[in-house]
Amino acid sequence: MSVEVHAVRSLSAAAEITVSLVTAEAVKAGIEGATPRQLELAGFEGKADQVHVWPESGRSRALVGLGPESEVDHRSFRRAGAAVARSCSRHARAGVELPADPAAGTRRALAEGVVLGAYGYTDLKSDPTEAKLRRVDVAGSAGARARGEIERGAAVAAGQCLARDLVNEPGGSLTAPALAARAAEIGRSAGLGAKVWTEAEIKRRRLGGLLGVNRGSTNPPRFVELDHRPEGEAKGSLALVGKGVTFDAGGLNIKTAAGMLTMKMDMAGAAAVIGAMSVIGALAPPVRVRAFLPMTDNMLGGDATRPGDVLRIRNGKTIEVVNTDAEGRLILADALSLASEAKPDAIVDLATLTGACMVALGPRIAGLMGNNRDWVDQIRAAAEAAGERVWPLPLPRDYESQFESGVADMKNLGGPHGGAITAGLILQRFVADGTAWAHLDIAGPSYSDADYGEIPKGGTGFGVRTLVELASGFAKPAPAPAPG
Ligand code: BES
Ligand code: MN
Ligand code: ZN
C-alpha cells in the first residue's frame, strides 16, 4: 500500500513522529529539543541521508540531514523525503517540518522522495514485512501553490512506482501479451486512448523488426499505442517510444549467465513510458501525447532469427542481423517508423539499449542523443528539473560506415567501440527526415544493484519524471540540426 502525502498548515498531535529537515549549518547553530552534546554523541552533523531519532514526550522526534547549505537543491529534498519514508516506516503517521522559506520545487521534490522512498516490491513475498507508514503531513503548506506541488510530486512518483513494479515483475510472467494488457488497462484507467495490436495486425502492418526478434519465442509479440488528446487546442504533439523487451536472453547469440540475470529489466523503456502516460492522462497537459510500444522477448526457439538473416522494417529499409543480441534497435526501428508516420512535432525514445552506454557514462546516468539541438536541450532541461541524470553523446555521421552491410541497407551492429553511439545512429535511420527526435539510452539508470537515496535496488522507474516534465512544458522544437 502506498503512502499519502498531505499539505497541512501545522502538524497535528496525531503524527506519531515529527521530522525536521536540517542543513549542516542549522545543526551547528543548535536544534530545539536536542542539545549539541546529544547530537555530537549521536554523530549527527546534518549530512545528506543522516538520520537521528529520539523519544520526546511519548512520541518520536527525528532529524534528517540535507547536507551543507551551499549544496542544497531539489535533489536534496527528494533524497531527504526518501530518508523520511524509511526512518518513519514503523509509524502510521509522520509530520515533516521544512526549513524556513523553501524554494519553489522543494515540496514537490520532498513529496516525490517520500513516495519513492516508501516503495518496495513485495508482490512475490509470502510474508512481506510491510511498512506501517500511511500518511506524511508536510507542515507550512496551507497555500494553494504548496498544496499543488505536493499533489503533483506524489502523483508523478506514483507513476514512477508503477514503472518500477513493471520492471521488477519477472519475464516469465510479464510476457509481451501480459505487458500489453497491463499497459492498456493502466492507460484506460488514466483516461487515455489505448490500442493493442495482435500478432496478425503486426504482420499486416509489416513490423519486420518486431516479428524478427519474436521468432525465437513461444509468446506472441504485441504493439501498444496510448493516446492523450487534450480537450482544448493542443500546443503541439509529442510521440514517446519505449523498448519493451520483456526478457532478453540474447537470442541465438545467447548472453552469459551473468549478462542474462537481470534481463527482465529490458522493458524499462516501455515501463517508463507507461508510467509517464498514466500521469500525463491525469495531469492532462495541453499537448497531444502518443506512445508507441513494441513488445516481445528475445529467445532462442527452433525458428529464432539466425545471424545473417535480413529483416525488412516498417519503413521499407532492410537490416542484416549480425548479432541477435542487438535486438532493441530492430523493434525500435519499427516503432520509430510508425511514430514518424503519425507526424508529431517531436519524438523521444527510451531504451535499455547498450551495455556500451554504461561503459561510457557509468550505471547512473543516461545517454542522450538526437538530431535537433533545441529538442535535445529541452530534454536536458526537463531531466535537470526532474532530478534525473542524462548526458549528451554525439551522433557523428562518419561513424555510419561502421554498419554498412554487403547484403542489406545496414547491419544491426557497428564496430567494437562507441556502441551507444552506433546504436543511436542506427535508430536515426528510422526517423523521418525533418522530424525532431531524441534517444535516451537508459541501460544504466533503469536498474540498480543497491538502494541509493530515493532509488531502490531493482527497477528504478528512471525516465518517468523527465517525460512528465517534458510533456508539461512542451514547446515545438525549432528546426536546428544537432552537432554530430
Ligand atoms: N538489453 C541489452 C543492453 C543492456 C545491457 C541493458 C546491460 C542493460 C544492461 C541489449 O539488447 C544488448 O544486448 N546489447 C548488446 C549489444 C551488442 C550485442 C552489440 C550489448 O550491449 O552488449
Ligand atoms: Mn540484447
Ligand atoms: Zn536488449
Measured in degrees and rounded to the nearest 5, phi and psi for residue 154 equal -65, -40
Q: How far is residue 227's CA from residue 405's CA, in Å, rounded to a whole number?
A: 37
Per-residue pLDDT of the chain (484 residues; tens, 9 = 90+): 589 999 999 999 999 999 999 999 999 999 998 988 899 999 999 999 999 999 998 899 999 999 999 999 999 999 999 999 999 999 999 999 999 999 999 999 999 999 999 999 999 999 998 899 999 999 999 999 999 999 999 999 999 999 999 999 999 999 999 999 999 999 999 999 999 999 999 999 999 999 999 999 999 999 999 999 999 999 999 999 999 999 999 999 999 999 999 999 999 999 999 999 999 999 999 999 999 999 999 999 999 999 999 999 999 999 999 999 999 999 999 999 999 999 999 999 999 999 999 999 999 999 999 999 999 999 999 999 999 999 999 999 999 999 999 999 999 999 999 999 999 999 999 999 999 999 999 999 999 999 999 999 999 999 999 999 999 999 999 998 776 7
The total of structural domains in the chain comes to 2
Q: Is 107 a catalytic residue?
A: no
For residue 419, give the ligand 1 atom closest to its CA: 19
- The answer to the question of residue 156 being in a domain is no
Cα-based distances in Å from 303 to 131, 218, 269, 435:
47, 10, 27, 36
Domain that holds residue 53: 4-138
What CATH number corresponds to the domain at position 127? Answer: 3.40.220.10
479 CA to centre of ligand 1 in angstroms? 32
109 and 178 both lie in a single domain = no
* Residue 151 located in a structural domain: no
Pull the grid cell for residue 199.
500478432
In contact, 400 and 389? CB cutoff 8 Å: no
Q: Based on the fold, state whether residues 72 and 170 are members of the same structural domain.
A: no
Same domain, yes or no, for 55 and 168?
Answer: no
Active site residue 255: yes
What is the residue whose three cell numbers read 549527527?
A: 44
Ligand 2 centroid from CA 48, angstroms: 37
On whether both 242 and 131 belong to a single domain, the answer is no
Per the DSSP assignment, residues forming a β-bridge with 295 are 222, 244
Looking at the fold, whether 132 and 255 belong to one and the same domain comes out as no
Q: How far is the CA of 244 from the centre of ligand 2 (A)?
A: 12
479 is a domain residue: no
Q: Are 363 and 246 in the same domain?
A: yes
Which phi and psi (to 5°) does residue 137 adopt? -95, 135
Query: Based on the domain organization, do 170 and 307 belong to the same domain?
Result: yes
- Alpha-carbon torsion 181, 183, 184, 188, what sign? positive
Domain boundary among 122, 138, 154: 138
Q: At what angle do helices 464-472 and 144-168 cross, to 10 degrees?
A: 140
Closest-CA residue, ligand 1 atom 5, reads: 355
d(CA 51, CA 39): 11
Buried/exposed 345-355: b ≥16 CB within 10 Å, e otherwise:
bbbbbbbbbbe
- Out of 108, 288, 329, 465, the active site residue is 329
* CA-angle at 115, arms to 109 and 119, nearest 5°: 135
Identify whether the C-beta of residue 441 lies closer than 8 Å to the C-beta of residue 311. no
Mutate to test the pocket of ligand 1, among 256, 352, 354, 358 (most ligand atoms within 8 A of CB): 354
Residue 81 covered by a domain: yes
How remote is the CA of residue 343 from the centroid of ligand 2, in Å?
A: 29
Helices (H), 90-131: 106-117
Cβ-based burial of 151 (10 A; exposed 0-12, middle 13-18, buried ≥19): middle
Backbone angles phi, psi at 55, to 5 degrees: -80, 145
Is residue 451 domain-shared with residue 377, that is, in the same domain? yes
* Burial (CB count <10 Å: 0-12, 13-18, 19+), residue 384: middle
* Residue 482: inside a domain: no
Give the whole-angstrom CA distance, residue 229 versus residue 373: 27
Q: Of the candidates 90, 105, 138, which is a domain's last residue?
A: 138
- d(CA 171, CA 177) in angstroms, rounded, equals 11
User: Which of 416-422's residues contact partners 24+ apart within 8 Å by CB, and which partners?
Assistant: 418/356, 419/354, 419/355, 419/356, 419/357, 419/359, 420/353, 420/354, 420/356, 420/357, 420/360, 420/367, 420/369, 420/393, 421/369, 421/393, 421/394, 421/395, 421/396
Which residues sit with Cβ closer than 5 angstroms to ligand 3, an ion?
245, 248, 266, 328
Residue from 255, 364, 380, 476 carrying the catalytic annotation: 255
Residues 296 and 238 in one domain: yes
Q: Which ligand is nearest to the CA of 359?
A: 1
Do 114 and 205 lie in a common domain? no
Q: Which atom of ligand 1 is nearest to the CA of 266?
A: 1
For CA atoms 469, 186, 207, 356, the dihedral sign is positive
Q: d(Cα 221, Cα 153) in Å, to the nearest integer?
A: 34
Furthest CA-CA distance within the chain: 79
Pocket, ligand 1, Cβ cutoff 6 A: 248, 266, 323, 325-328, 352-356, 413, 419, 443
In a domain? residue 478:
no
* Strands 193-197 and 222-228, bridge-based pairing: antiparallel
325 alpha carbon to ligand 2 midpoint, in Å?
A: 4
CATH of residue 431: 3.40.630.10
What is the per-residue burial (b if ≥16 Cβ within 10 Å, else e) of 19-43?
bbbbbbebbeeebeebeeeebeeee
Domain boundary among 91, 122, 138: 138
**354 Cα nearest atom in ligand 1:** 21
- Residue 193 sits in the same domain as residue 115: no
Indicate whether 379 belongs to any domain: yes
Q: Assess if residue 201 is contained within a domain.
A: yes
Same domain as 131, residue 39: yes
Q: Cα–Cα distance between 443 and 369 in angstroms, integer?
A: 14
